[in-house]
Structure 1
Amino acid sequence: MSQSLGDRIERETARLGELIVSRPRAIVVAFLLLTVVFAGGMTMITSEADATDAFTEGMPEQEALDAINEEFEGPFTVDQESTQLLHTGSDVLTREELLAVLRTLEAVEDDPQLRMESANGPATIVAQAIDPEAETAAEQRRAVEGATETEVRQAIQAVSDDPQFQAIVSDDFNPNEATASASMTVVSHQVPPEFDDDDLTELQTSVATIADGESSDIRAFGAGIVNEEFENIIGDSLAIVMPIVMVLLLAFLIAAYRDPIDLALGLFALLLTIIWTFGFLGFSGIPFDQQLIAVPVLLLAVGVDFGIHIINRYREETVQGYNPIAAMQTASTQLMTAFVIVTVTTVFGFGANVVSDLEPIRNMGIVSSVGIVFTFLIFGFFLPAAKLEVDEFRERYGVPEFNSTPIASEDSSLGRALSISAIVGQRAPVVFVVALLLVGGGMGLYGAGVDTSFDQEDFLPPEEEAWYVEHIPEPFAPGEYTVTSTINTLEDNFEANQDESITIYVEGPFEEDHALEALVAPDEEPTDSLAVGPGGTADAQSIVTVIQSYAAEDPEFGELVDRNDRSGSGIPDRNLDRIYDELFASPAGPQAEQYLSEDRRSVQVEYSIDASATQEEVAADGAEFAEEFRYTATATGMVVIFDAVSDIIFESAIQGLVLAIVLSAVFLVISYAILDGKPLLGVVNVFPIAIAVAFLLGTMRALGMPLNAMTATILSISIGVGIAYSVHATARFLDEYGEDADVFTALTTTLSGTGGALAGSMLTTSLGTGALAFAITPVLGDFGLLIALSVFYSFVGAVVALPPALFLWARYDQADGGLREFVSSARQ
């Protein structure tokens, strides 16, 4: 049965070759019509605005943070309908600097399209301290204009103890001198329910224009501005990367094809691949994000590989005197099996990412897998058919051929150089294979310690532009990006408010008598990174601390708390509803709103953390600490969320790698068993790529490149891209191995013939994908460099590690008895 199945596959493969050469014009027309259909899908492509939202969506930690942002109010809380004005300078609390902010607010308030509802910042607070009746921005500006510098300073000192004021000035705020180097003003907008992301972007960019016109030291910041930069990054990165990729591909395809008409055919086939893939993207509804920028580059890499192989193999036949139809039928028939195997294993490599729990990584796996299938169809059927049609046109009209020789031959310098590994491998294959296993194993163990990270700034251009950016001419030059600079300013100046704490979101009936005592009970024995308070207790800010603080300030409220504190702990344990009512109606009400929701069903507790603790330690301690609460509690905050994503990224990378290797190995073993009765060749094929991946992991750790949102896919993708080199070499080796079973001759012919095509493919692919290093975001730059290294390692593995492994396999194949006879008998 196996024998008949193998023969049937060979016959079907031969029939496909006959179909290509017998009806090339029909194939070309059919593919062009399909291209028109897919081109229509390109008009339906949408983009993903915020690159990080897609990674965190649906996570419990993110849902807890979303609930906090929705349920609680605070001076440093910014929702989707708010714009932040970040003001920096030597001293942003001088009279003139406060006026600059107020003039900005006045201009925003006067524009009805900007829907300003209120504003809260140092300038507004100081203005109302000077004139409590000043409600509008214009009134507040006049109040500050009418005050002297001394009066402004006195007003700042008067409000300096207000936590609301302290939260919106930088950490270097000096209340005695009334100075600070940065401040934050939050502008709230009253927007209708139908207000969407595009409307928000337009609104906030208009505010940014007003702020920039008033002072270059005032920058607008908000979700709409971040979304706009994320969207611009996609277009700007493509505008920079794709021309570089095309120039590099063009240069090396010229060297590989050495014929302008063949070059045009290869480039046209690549164009069809991109159109088909982007058309599928539009029809599928998958949004285009930064991860998917790498997909067209990867498809170009695989397409170049297929194109070079088909044209090179065709030329090997024509230089021996075969006519075009016979030459193409031989080339297509011999390469079709290899193409199918490469396509399936590449789909396994790329598609292994669909097991990820992160949607952007899953989407990348889906789109790249579909793109690889399209690449196979276009280069396996359209390109050979188009080549025959073009050659017939040439012959009919006498168009000359420029250079139709293969890339390398046994007599060429490149062919002799590539054959060296066959000579070495023949002499000591066991030593060679063992040495490679030891070195590869060592690199793999070293690389197992590679870091994992996730950060929003990975998706944004760095604050300091790369040296080459300023030399990029129009229209390819990227726009101005400010979000990274703004984020860095926030982190540098408002660290106490953002980075050195985590939040526990607690859900429960907080009007029950003992709810508040239960809330503080875990604080006595916190986990390590939270034990920063006196005596190793937790340093917490919550509704309890607000109650205690206001009770100390207001005797009447203090008496109310004492009357309802039966345990004498200083925490009320009955009539909590009345205490909350009194608190929310008091001057401490705005602060209470930061920690207790309006329906009294949830609270947030902010905990200071040990500054020396790592992200992993803080996240683990936060999760453990949350389990100690009486009510349902979830640790959240950006540190916790990003650590959770980092864990999933690592899991995705390992799962994808294992799945890609296992599926590829099983498929190759079955394929070679059915087609050639040589199942162990499947294991031999996987050997070089396993060494290549081990070297890639070691290189990542040596270069300090972590597994992040983008590079998490690199391991499985390396399997998909790299295994093609081993499969093509093995397929050619089997063609040459034949009945004579002369391993050395078969390998030298393979390395000098197919090895030349592999070398050309490696150069174009590694340099083409390496062009991603010029992308304006770090995450794409690292991915491009690693893909280029992966391709190089895979090529080296195919021409260095594969030959000695094939010599060892040949010893088994030529031996009598054992597994070989069992496989042969099973096939019969």
Structure 2
Amino acid sequence: MNYQRYIDWADDRIVDDSRKVVLAFLVVTLAFSAGLGNISTNAGTQQFTTGLPAEEAFEQVNTEFSPAFSADTGSTQLIQDGTNVLSKPAMLRMLRAQEKLEEHGELRVTSTSSAAAIVARELNPSATTTEAQIRTLERSTDSEVDAAVRRAADNPQFTGLLSNDFNRESASASATIGVVTHELPAGLSSGSGQGGTSPLTDIQRQAEFTVDATGAGSITVFGSGILAEEFSNVVFDSLILTVPAALVFILLFLSIAYRDLADMALGLAALFMAIVWTFGFMGLAGIPFSQMLIAVPPLLLAVGIDFGIHAVNRYREEREEGRDIGRSMRITTDQLLVAFGIVTGTTVIGFLANVSSDLPPIQDFGYVASVGIVFTFLIFGVFLPAAKVELDRLRDRYPIPTFSQRPLGSEGSKLSGVLRGGVVIAERAPVVFLLVVLVATAGAGMYATGISTSFSQDDFLPPEDNPDWIESLPEPFAPSEYTVTETTNFLDERFTSSQGGQVTIYVEGPMRQDDALEQIYRAGDDPPETFVREDGRADSTSIVTVITNRAERDPEFRALVARNDQNDNGVPDSNLEEIYDYLLSSSSRAQALDYITEDYRSARVTYQVEGDASDDAAAADAREVADRFRFEATATGSLVVFQAVSDVIFESAITSLAIALTGTAVFLLFIYWVIEGRPSLGLANVVPVVITVALLAGTMRYLGIPLNAITGTMLALTIGLGVDYSVHVVHRFADESHEAALVPALDRTVRGTGGALLGSMLTTVFGIGVLALAVFPAIGQFGILTALSIVYAFLTSLLVLPSVLVVWYRATNVWSGIGGLRDLGRRQTVAPGDDD
């Protein structure tokens, strides 16, 4: 394949039409900038769960059994804590807070409920309004209130609103939750909306102010609106903290790498253009900005900085040889367009591998990052060289300040002696060294098999307590005041049902069928290990529980149940529709509708899970119990949904890694066959990348960093980023070996390319490493891992790759005869004008 003519055409445009090229790229930048204003945001965990069977079942449960989550409604939680939230004064505070919220017209309150309201109705069944419930409690004695609490303890709805330490005998609990239901504007839901906020955000912030105004200081307002707001704030605050720090480090190391103000300005302008093109494309394509996409700018900076330093450094090498501007740039682009093309191809493969994920945000990430890398290739492969030609021609005509133009790692410099350490090893004992590396890589890979996976809201929220130095930052760097993590931790600690203390089985089938209730009852026999046991059965709540509780209090209903209970186990076996109709026409209607739909076509069963049970074990046991039903039954609940996402993340990480590694290897074999006639060079190119992936995966386990929604992309990304470094070394070596023997070719490679790689590595490691400062935990982990992957890629490319190339060179020459394979399809690099 005669690809050289295309490279020569690009060389001509860059050198001969440099001004037109620069103007064309500026026009395209203006066009893409129009899309920046169209970018919306999408934050939170909901974006990751869409489409999963467990999540779809969870949505059905929320829609059918929880009016607070039905269409066009939303709910707010009133979380109360204290010495005893079931004392008369504490319950009055809760009811007065409910009353104030009901009176606030803008809050669109349709109903409120709480443990205090249930106790008031125990005292006076006719107290159906909050005002009447307050009067009832005010007129009752403490002993009457305590007795009402003990009677209410038989009601699962009541106990479900109380903390784990509820004591029936002492009528006490340290925390409780009240629920306020709001009507939302038609067509809206309580989910996240544009900008990462929710229609409930303003409502819940107003509710917070109203509750505070009542003096109920022990009541915290919480809900999806506040959660969505903090999801959005954490993204913004992370960017505010990390972008300025990244700019400082990038400017510092670019000034060292370029050592010339005008050249550095060109590099920064190119980086800016890459970001504008990528995010402008997102706006024009309608792709929302999510937490995942925070990682895209650092990745573009990583590749762009590398390309920029290589282009300028390679050009300076030719200028130092005495060649003029045009000839130097032709030689530079003639070589680097191929190298950049290889890097772009392999990086795109690594990033696009994430499109294989079943999670839409990870798919968007792979897609946007791949498009961004292609843009980066065009800008740094075409625009930057053309702009550099224009700049140096202007320097010849005008007194533009010029500082050092000496290339990094030039011969005789101290840096070159350090860089050639890998060449020294390759000269003396390459085989022994590679065997040691092989053993270490295998060990790291085996160790990495124990890496964990996770998916939770904590991955997307700041820690409960930020470091003091973050809290003391001045505006505009000071982060928002975060409360959600503290609240969710409190719920996790005090309430069994929050944050994964229970699982739900969603049952679909004709619930009028005689054996319907027996199926629910028998599913609790011989419960799995992770389920809480009560009298040898699973601790569960269902329509069977509602029937049992009603039968204990209602003699007429008890007789009805007994007449239809053929095996005398307290569970009706016939005339179930009559049983349901009785419940729905009684005061137990609300409780019944929490567990069975009005059309008697579906039901839900909740099972309590042991506190020390792992999420994966509990989810697996929930699926096992669901399989016990003859009706269609699906295990769901937040614990099961999040575990399902965690499983998909792990599968995506392995699948994308396999696709990226295989795709990269095939691409490199093909491309080196095309450009060098030596496809086996592609295998040599892959070796340091495999080592880097193994080292990074082992490091993740050692540091306790799990595969989550963000870090789950790292293994495939490491291939995309790591191959960047090894491609530059291998391609430069291939070119140098045309004119020099093995060791001199390696020596010139590591001195020239190694210097540029070092500058690129330092700049990107510190520029991306600042993501560790983010208040968004998963992005902080991503920054640490990305920086480590670049360090590993740099070290393996300069320390391990020379030995790989020596062994490759010897093996191919032994196999094909001395010099035989080297001459196959060899491409001579000749600069125009040098052939005479």
Q: What's the TM-score bracket when you normalise by the shorter of the two chains?
A: over 0.9
1:734-749 to 2 correspondences below 5 Å:
734-740=734-740, 742-749=741-748
C-alpha distance in 2 between matches for 1:129 and 1:653: 54
- Contact 1:532–1:609 at 8 Å: present in 2 too? no
The alpha carbon displacement at 1:530 in A equals 3.9
- Contact 2:73–2:181 at 8 Å: present in 1 too? no
Distance 1:812 1:562, change over 3 A: same
Give the match for residue 60 of structure 1. 53
Q: Secondary structure at the match of 2:110?
A: strand
Asked whether 1:753 is paired with 2:747, we answer no
- Contact 1:765–1:788 at 8 Å: present in 2 too? yes
C-alpha distance in 1 between matches for 2:112 and 2:497: 22
C-alpha distance in 2 between matches for 1:618 and 1:172: 23
Pick the aligned partner of 2:21 from 17, 27, 30. Answer: 27
Asked whether 1:202 is paired with 2:202, we answer yes
The alpha carbon displacement at 1:73 in A equals 3.8
C-alpha distance in 2 between matches for 1:570 and 1:154: 27
| 2:186 aligned partner, one-letter code | P
- TM-score normalized with structure 2 length: 0.94
Give the match for residue 544 of structure 2. 544
Runs (5+) with no aligned partner, structure 2:
828-836
C-alpha distance in 2 between matches for 1:83 and 1:570: 37
Greater mean deviation of Cα atoms: 443-452 or 316-325: 316-325
Deviations 1:232-282 (A, max 9, x none): 122111111111111111111111111111111111111111111101111
Give the match for residue 378 of structure 1. 379
C-alpha distance in 1 between matches for 2:485 and 2:71: 17
Give the match for residue 155 of structure 2. 162
Distance 1:498 1:699, change over 3 A: closer
Give the match for residue 9 of structure 1. 3
Give the match for residue 556 of structure 1. 556
Give the match for residue 652 of structure 1. 652
C-alpha distance in 1 between matches for 2:412 and 2:49: 57
- Contact 1:452–1:706 at 8 Å: present in 2 too? yes
| 1:57 aligned partner, one-letter code | T
Give the match for residue 635 of structure 1. 635
Give the match for residue 830 of structure 2. none
Give the match for residue 831 of structure 2. none
Deviations 1:601-632 (A, max 9, x none): 00111223344432222222221221221100
Count of residue pairs brought into register by the alignment? 819
- Contact 1:74–1:593 at 8 Å: present in 2 too? no
Give the match for residue 833 of structure 2. none
Pick the aligned partner of 2:41 from 41, 47, 61. Answer: 47
Distance 1:272 1:660, change over 3 A: same
RMSD (Å) for aligned C-alpha atoms: 2.4
Q: Secondary structure at the match of 1:354?
A: helix
The alpha carbon displacement at 1:532 in A equals 2.9
C-alpha distance in 1 between matches for 2:632 and 2:817: 63
Q: Secondary structure at the match of 2:781?
A: helix
1:407-426 to 2 correspondences below 5 Å:
407-426=408-427
Give the match for residue 778 of structure 1. 777
Give the match for residue 599 of structure 2. 599
C-alpha distance in 1 between matches for 2:772 and 2:342: 30
- Contact 1:408–1:756 at 8 Å: present in 2 too? yes
| 1:163 aligned partner, one-letter code | P
Deviations 1:87-118 (A, max 9, x none): 12333344443343334333322221111111
Deviations 1:109-154 (A, max 9, x none): 2221111111111333344555655555455445555666666555
Greater mean deviation of Cα atoms: 351-360 or 811-820: 811-820
C-alpha distance in 2 between matches for 1:664 and 1:60: 33
Give the match for residue 487 of structure 2. 486
Deviations 1:14-66 (A, max 9, x none): 221121011111111111111111111111111113x2111111111111111
Give the match for residue 520 of structure 1. 521
The alpha carbon displacement at 1:825 in A equals 6.5
C-alpha distance in 2 between matches for 1:546 and 1:199: 34
Give the match for residue 181 of structure 2. 188
C-alpha distance in 1 between matches for 2:179 and 2:139: 24
Percentage of identical aligned residues: 47
Give the match for residue 678 of structure 1. 678
C-alpha distance in 2 between matches for 1:438 and 1:678: 28
Q: Secondary structure at the match of 1:668?
A: helix
Q: Secondary structure at the match of 2:355?
A: helix
- Contact 2:722–2:793 at 8 Å: present in 1 too? yes
C-alpha distance in 2 between matches for 1:135 and 1:819: 97
Give the match for residue 566 of structure 1. 566
| 2:93 aligned partner, one-letter code | A
C-alpha distance in 2 between matches for 1:567 and 1:99: 46
Give the match for residue 613 of structure 2. 613
Deviations 1:208-247 (A, max 9, x none): 2223444443221111111111111221111111111111
Give the match for residue 796 of structure 1. 795
C-alpha distance in 2 between matches for 1:568 and 1:175: 29
Give the match for residue 102 of structure 1. 95
Distance 1:622 1:139, change over 3 A: closer
The alpha carbon displacement at 1:509 in A equals 0.4
| 1:86 aligned partner, one-letter code | I
Give the match for residue 295 of structure 1. 296
Runs (5+) with no aligned partner, structure 1:
none
Greater mean deviation of Cα atoms: 383-392 or 94-103: 94-103
Asked whether 1:582 is paired with 2:582, we answer yes
Distance 1:796 1:709, change over 3 A: same
Distance 1:290 1:405, change over 3 A: same
The alpha carbon displacement at 1:191 in A equals 2.9
Distance 1:437 1:79, change over 3 A: farther
The alpha carbon displacement at 1:398 in A equals 1.1
1:424-503 to 2 correspondences below 5 Å:
424-495=425-496, 499-503=500-504
The alpha carbon displacement at 1:826 in A equals 8.1
Deviations 1:571-602 (A, max 9, x none): 22222111111112223332222211111100
| 2:275 aligned partner, one-letter code | I
Deviations 1:389-428 (A, max 9, x none): 2222232221131111112212111110110210111111
